[in-house]
Chain A
Amino acid sequence: MRIGVDVGGTNTDAVVMDGAAVLAWCKTPTTADVSSGIVAAIKKVLDDSGAATSAIDAVMIGTTHFTNAFVEGKRLLEVGVIRLGLPASRDLPPMVDWPAPLKQAVGDHCYLVHGGNEFDGREIAPLRESEIAEAARDLRRKNIRAVAISAIFSPIDDTMEQRAAEIVLNEAPDVALTLSGNIGRIGLFERENAAIMNASLADLSRTVVSSFKQALDSLKITAPFYISQNDGTLMTADFVAQYPVLTFASGPTNSMRGAAYLSGAKDAMVADIGGTTTDIGMLINGFPRESSVTVDIGGVRTNFRMPDVLAIGLGGGSRVRGDETVTIGPDSVGFRLTEDALVFGGQTLTTSDIAVAAGQVNFGDKSRVSHLDDAFISRALGAIHAKLEDNVDRMKTSAQDIPLILVGGGAVLISRDIAGVSEVITPDYSSVANAIGAAIAQVGGEVDKVVSYEEMGRDAALAEVKREAVARAVAAGAIPATVEIVEIEELPLAYIPGGAVRVRARSVGDLQKL
């Protein structure tokens, strides 16, 4: 049996699953210390399901904690940044385009030193070890405890980053180190940014991971626990303590993966309708389609692969205005729904009031919306559906009708057919799709590198990249026989001789011991 937990900004959800069956689920408020909320949620589902803690094989946790902490600039460590690249890259030091508050939060401790590689693996300049040692000593003097190291073309060759790490640890054994080559892809700035973000979260990640551990210990759960990452696959707790940045977009991914699982649909649109917004994304072969644009987190450019999610101002708390022409949102009463909405005794007409008036759902005091006439209710419902319809259509990739899976508490708003959609599916347990997405997650491995088709031949080069991606999934805990390549992308590089092609491969497999 597995336990899936989703620690959101507002709610902590938990489910207990036995194979494909959901045995119990619950929603509890997220607590300031995180851990007591998790304890409460897990305790509740264990009690409800009657499952023994000894029967739990694994606990999977999804959390938006690190994303929120970074965006808010709270509890971040100051970071020393050492870039190996001189004499190249001198004109653009690290963090040049960061928003001032975040730059201030992580400090501006940047060291440009000699090193890095050319596109073909040659050294730009030999490493000058004394420069790195001097930077490390300087950081120690400043009492900086987190260090990010980046090197030009480290995704092709990370030897220099590794050597620099040894030198830094030799001078300052206690610092938390992040090497850019371990996190990011080609694109020095974006990869370096990710490394700096990650380093800044080093303290928080240790605290959060240990609070997860404490929560499980206090429940006497000895099963291993995992945390979900951007692409919907799992990382071990120790790995997350080192790479918190990899959890940044796990929320929408888990919700979409959960929707796929609950509905059994592999290719479908998912609309996660919350209180304020609806996130719409496309499932392809059971995984979210990834965004192709540069992702900006709190104003910092990264090249993470994030699910391509369209957020629109439609939710259970969206305000309803107008009469002949009805408009929905984009503003919402948000978490004040249970005070401000008409059916809860408030003064604001919301989409939830319309759903209650139309008899789609029953909560609050229906008599408080009895003054709304049927024609108006119908127009308002029309406006709600039109808004979803338009945006589902925006996200579609072909004219063919496809299924639409509704998850989230706001799914009750939808009662009519949606144009361009073959069927609307509202699966059971859809309000805890996030936690279920975490519970069913697999482990994965990813490789992004430049290879020479001229030297190796395309087939041999692709085979090598795939082999590496599979090996990474196995190293992350996958059962070798279950690992498959789910994605491979080839991008020939303009102007570079030798048939250089950037190849990216992603693999996933089932977790051991389940």
Chain B
Amino acid sequence: MTRVTAKKAEPAMKVTLEDLEPMTRGAAFLGAGGGGDPYLGGLVARAAIEKYGPPAVIDVADVPDDALLITIAGMGAPTVMVEKTLSVEAAMIAFDALEKHIGKKVFAVLPVEMGGLNSMVPIALAARRGLAVIDADGMGRAFPEIQMVTYHVYGVSTTPMVISNEHHDCILIETRDGKRAEDIGRAIATQMGLNVMLASYPMTGRQAKQSAVKGTLSLARGIGRAIAEVRRKGDPVEVLLGYLRTTPYYNKCAVLFDGKVTDLRRETTRGFAIGHCKMAALDGSGDELEVTFQNEHLVARVNGATRTIVPDLVCFVDRETGEPITTEGLRYGQRAKVIGTSVAPNMRTPEALAVFGPKGFGMDEPFQPIEDLMEIKP
């Protein structure tokens, strides 16, 4: 097991069994309606930690500049994952194959997507491989495509990447750019059963420092803890917002709406499940919210006016408990509060917005930060 000497006086952080529940809850929140239910991912991580011990967590700042990091994530369809479950073995095969291809010993596992079930895959793999996991990812939320990450935005090549599955099929892909990696990778993943593990974005510590969204593993845990505490502290959503305001990225936050689902339409376009959810206000004001989602929520509009738009986060939470609600869990008549939050500054630059801003999802509308749309004072 890689031993990390913490530079600070405090002992090195580890992901323990006790951390998993808050982390999965926080990851569900960061999933912004998508990313897959982290419950199964949490079980896989639990099994790995019980057997192999808790993996150490390292700050990006503490990674040597020339150290090799590799990302790991599940790729496929949530519906398939709930049948075939996640394969840590497949993750090992993909990860090891990419390490071998690069010909250099890997230093640690780098998460790519902290929202949804992919938050748990790096933890499970790190435990199994006896490696540390980096406290960072490439978005601090969930997104549907491989190239929709800050690593890609800030110049890290998506490939070489390796896709593997439970059959030990193992495919190395090199492409010219990230979007081609997504298209080719998805076609292969479909053939391989739509439940594959993807090792990608091999990078140096220096590149990670320049491109990652830092501290998101800790943030997922913090959000999950805040939600767990709400039952003792009064209005759950206020407690959650209170915590978010203390975070470095999600601090511009507001309740966008408090209502009941009055209409829910789903359609499949370009291979993605596009949906629209309408809500009516509970206060009898007649106000109406519409959220458009493509796996994750993209935009929330109240009475037609945009209130929060991607990459800023739009999350549904239970009014009573603060528990995050995924798009698949939305039902007609359900009562929920909708929360909007800002995201990390490196997610909102022009280069980043070109990849996963509104245009990246086919919306003809400029990105506007939530603090402007909701007039949130700094």
Interface membership of B373, Cβ < 8 A: no
Which 6 pairs of residues, A with B, have the shortest CB-CB distance?
A397-B333, A292-B331, A495-B77, A492-B268, A88-B166, A494-B273
Closest-CB distance, A230 to chain B (whole angstroms) = 17
Report B328-371 CB contacts with A as 1/0, cut-off 8 Å: 11111111000000000000000000000000000000000000
Cβ of A398 within 8 Å of any chain B Cβ, yes or no, is yes
B84 near A497 with CB under 8 A, answer no
B43 touches A96 (CB 8 A): yes
Verify if B278 is at the interface (C-beta below 8 Å from A): no
Contact: A492 with B267, CB < 8 Å? yes
Is residue A491 contacting chain B, with contact meaning CB distance below 8 A? yes
With an 8 A cutoff between CB atoms, is B167 at the interface?
A: yes
Q: Is the CB of B82 within 8 A of A152?
A: no
Q: Is the C-beta of A416 less than 8 angstroms from some C-beta in chain B?
A: no
Of the candidates A92, A292, A491, A499, the one whose C-beta lies within 8 Å of that of B40 is A92
Which residues of the other chain, A, contact B64 by a CB distance below 8 angstroms? none
Contact with B along A489-507 (1 / 0, CB 8 A): 0111111110101100000
Q: If the complex has contacts A189-B40, A494-B78, A494-B79, are A397 and B332 also in contact, measured as CB distance less than 8 A?
A: yes
List residues of A (87-104) whose CB comes within 8 Å of B's CBs: 87-92, 96-97
* Assembly CA distance A97 to B34 (angstroms): 23
Asked if B85 and A89 make an inter-chain contact with CB atoms under 8 angstroms apart, the answer reads: yes
Complex Cα spacing A499 to B267, Å: 9
Listed in ascending order, the chain B residues whose CB lies under 8 Å from chain A are: 34, 40, 43-44, 46-48, 76-80, 82-89, 144, 166-168, 186, 190, 193-195, 260, 262, 266-268, 271-273, 280, 282, 284, 295, 320, 328-335
* B333 engages A289 (CB within 8 Å): yes
A450 and B194 CA atoms in complex are apart in Å by: 15
A284 smallest CB distance to B (angstroms): 9
- In the assembled complex, A119 has its CB within 8 A of some CB on chain B: yes
**Contact of B79 (CB < 8 Å), options: A91, A186, A399:** A186
- Per the bound structure, the CA–CA distance linking A124 and B87 in Å amounts to 14
Q: How far is the CA of A90 from the CA of B93 in the complex (A)?
A: 14
> Given contacts A87-B167, A189-B85, A499-B268, could you give 7 more A-B pairs where the C-beta distance is less than 8 Å?
A85-B84, A88-B87, A188-B83, A188-B84, A491-B266, A493-B79, A494-B79
Residues in chain B near residue A490, CB distance under 8 A: 266
Given known pairs A289-B333, A495-B271, the reply for A91 and B82 (CB within 8 Å) is no
Bound: A96/B85 CA distance, A: 12
On chain B, the residues within 8 Å of A188 by CB distance are 82-85
Query: Given contacts A92-B47, A494-B273, A496-B77, are A153 and B83 in contact (CB under 8 A)?
Result: yes
Tell me if A494 and B77 are in contact (CB < 8 A): yes
Q: Classify the secondary structure of B's interface with A.
A: mixed
Within 8 A of B (CB), among A388-419: 394, 397-399
In the bound complex, residues from chain B placing their C-beta under 8 Å from that of A495 are: 76-78, 144, 186, 194, 271-272
- Distance (whole angstroms) from the CB of A95 to the closest CB of chain B: 11
Chain A residues within CB distance 8 Å of chain B: 85, 87-92, 96-97, 116, 118-119, 122, 124, 152-153, 186-189, 282, 289, 292-293, 394, 397-399, 450, 453, 490-497, 499, 501-502
| Contacts A/B (CB < 8 Å), 17 sampled | A88-B85, A88-B87, A89-B84, A90-B87, A92-B43, A119-B77, A119-B80, A119-B194, A189-B82, A292-B329, A292-B334, A394-B335, A494-B272, A494-B273, A495-B144, A495-B272, A497-B190
Contact residues in B for A91 (Cβ distance below 8 Å): 44, 47-48, 85-89
Q: When chains A and B are docked, how far (Å) is the Cα of A97 from the Cα of B21?
A: 13
> CB within 8 A of B280: which of A152, A292, A293, A399?
A399
Q: How far is the CA of A453 from the CA of B267 in the complex (A)?
A: 11
Nearest residue, chain B, Cβ from A284: B333
Q: Which residues of B contact A399 (CB under 8 A)?
A: 280, 282, 284
Q: A92-B47, A292-B334, A493-B273 are in contact. Are A187 and B82 (CB under 8 A)?
A: yes
Please tell me if the beta carbons of A496 and B79 are within 8 angstroms of each other in the complex: yes
Residue of A nearest to B271 (CB): A497
CB contacts (< 8 Å) of B328 on chain A: these are 491
| Chain A min CB distance to B182 (Å) | 11
Instruction: Report the minimal beta-carbon distance from B267 to chain A, rounded to whole angstroms.
Output: 7
Q: How far is the CA of A450 from the CA of B268 in the complex (A)?
A: 14
The CA of A332 and the CA of B329, in the complex, are separated in Å by 34
Q: Cβ of B88: which chain A residues have Cβ within 8 Å of it?
A: 91
A513 to B87, CA, bound (A): 52
Residues in B neighbouring A497, C-beta threshold 8 A: 190, 271
* Chain A: minimal CB distance from B272 (Å): 6
**Is the beta-carbon distance between A124 and B82 smaller than 8 angstroms?**
no
Query: Which of A88, A153, A282, A492 makes the CB contact (< 8 A) with B266?
Result: A492
Which residues does chain A contribute within 8 Å of B271, judged by CB atoms? 495, 497
How long is the Cα–Cα vector from A97 to B20 in the complex, in angstroms? 14
Residues from chain B with a CB closer than 8 A to the CB of A118 are 80, 193-194
Query: Known contacts A124-B193, A397-B332, A397-B333: does B267 contact A502 (CB below 8 Å)?
Result: no
Give the distance in Å from the alpha carbon of A450 to the alpha carbon of B47 in the complex: 30
Report B-chain residues with C-beta under 8 Å of the C-beta of A186: 79, 82-83
Q: Which residues of B sit under 8 angstroms from A92, Cβ to Cβ?
A: 40, 43-44, 47, 85-86
Residues of chain A within 8 A of B166, CB atoms compared = 87-90, 124
- For A153, what are the chain B residues with a Cβ–Cβ distance below 8 Å? 83
A87 to B193, CA, bound (A): 12
Give the distance in Å from the alpha carbon of A87 to the alpha carbon of B13 in the complex.
Answer: 34
By a CB distance below 8 angstroms, the chain A residues around B335 are 394
**Cα separation A92 to B85 with both chains bound (whole Å):** 7
For A118, the closest partner residue in chain B by CB is B193
CA distance A87 to B86 in the complex (A): 12
Q: How far is the CA of A394 from the CA of B190 in the complex (A)?
A: 42
The answer to whether B334 and A88 have CB atoms under 8 Å apart is no
Contact B193 A119 (CB under 8 A): yes
> In the bound complex, do residue B193 and residue A97 qualify as a contact, i.e. CB atoms below 8 Å apart?
no
- Return B322 CB to nearest CB of chain A, in Å: 14
A421 → B minimal CB distance (Å): 16
Asked if residues B43 and A496 are in contact (CB atoms below 8 Å), the reply is no
